[in-house]
Amino acid sequence: MREFVAEIVSIGRLRHRNLVQLLGYCRRKGELLLVYDYMPNGSLDKYLHDQPKVALNWRQRFRVIKGVASGLFYLHGEWDQVVVHRDVKASNVLLDGELNGRLGDFGLARLYDHGTDPQTTHVVGTLGYLAPEHTRTGKATPSTDVFAFGAFLLEVACGRRPIEAKSPTEDVILVDWVYSCWSNGDIMEAKDPNLGSGYEAEEVELVLKLGLLCSHSEPEARPTMRQVLQFLEGDVPFPEMSSLSLTSSGLTFGHRQGFDDYAMSYSSSVCKGFSHCSVADSLLSGGR
């Protein structure tokens, strides 16, 4: 109980326009409940999957994406401690009265001091958003949040869940499907058909490619949330991905040779766009 209250007090001090404000907690019949600001438009999940006829347009989706990225950057690097959310997904992104995206539900969040090593915990989260190294080591890091954010990016751009049942015995993995579209030379085939014609093709393509990069199986090849935000804001151009030799093995759970080559060459080149890069930064270490 003391640990729970200490973490709630800490999380309650978080202040960011793209985070749902935690107001406090209460105990009721042995249950511990977290109390947040009320978000009148509910969760993003509802607009992507449950109400396709009132799906958000691209301008609204892109604003939500940038808002959540800004909130995660704050959690990972701008606050007194490192806050790893551990459950980034569309159903935990709530929309306020103006349809701004706010990341909520900090019930699984873990805090640790900057410069220290996160402790091993029980593996928690949602299937489809879990980074492969998290399931192996039990350590939740900013890079595991980046992986989940990659799945979130693809979910928002494609209007599909990270894992969907194709048949009783077969699932469709969204990241692999988007990768196959890219490897076939038409990544825009993966976009949500509910977007209609009113979208910026360059922005959609950026989100799809960035979703693939954040979903890389190797944490060192993923960007940090600082870098993600700079790509989304257009402060740093996203590297060209078209000149790769590709293989057909899995991106998320396997080893995709062409993509790995791209990620490592990307790691060294993207560092030039930032004012301070250590050796670890140049490998896009998720812990930075």
Known catalytic residues are: 87
DSSP result, 95-155: E-TT--EEE---TT-EEE-TTSPPPB----S-TTT--HHHHHH-B--HHHHHHHHHHHHHH
The whole-angstrom separation of Cα 33 and Cα 25 is: 5
Tokens 């900013």, located at residue: 142
Q: Which amino acid type is present at position 86?
A: R
Task: State the sign of the Cα–Cα–Cα–Cα dihedral 34, 39, 41, 45.
Answer: negative
Q: In terms of Cα–Cα distance, which of 227, 85, 213, 219 is closest to 151? A: 213
Q: Are 116 and 287 in contact (CB under 8 A)?
A: no
Work out the angle at residue 265's Cα, subtended by the Cα atoms of residues 262 and 266, and round it to the nearest 5 degrees. 80
Q: How far, CA to CA in Å, does 107 sit from each of 36, 121, 226, 244?
A: 11, 14, 24, 41
Q: Are 274 and 210 in contact (CB under 8 A)?
A: no
Q: Are 95 and 65 in contact (CB under 8 A)?
A: no
The whole-angstrom separation of Cα 28 and Cα 30 is: 5
In 3-state terms, what secondary structure has residue 94? Answer: strand
Residues constituting the chain:
288
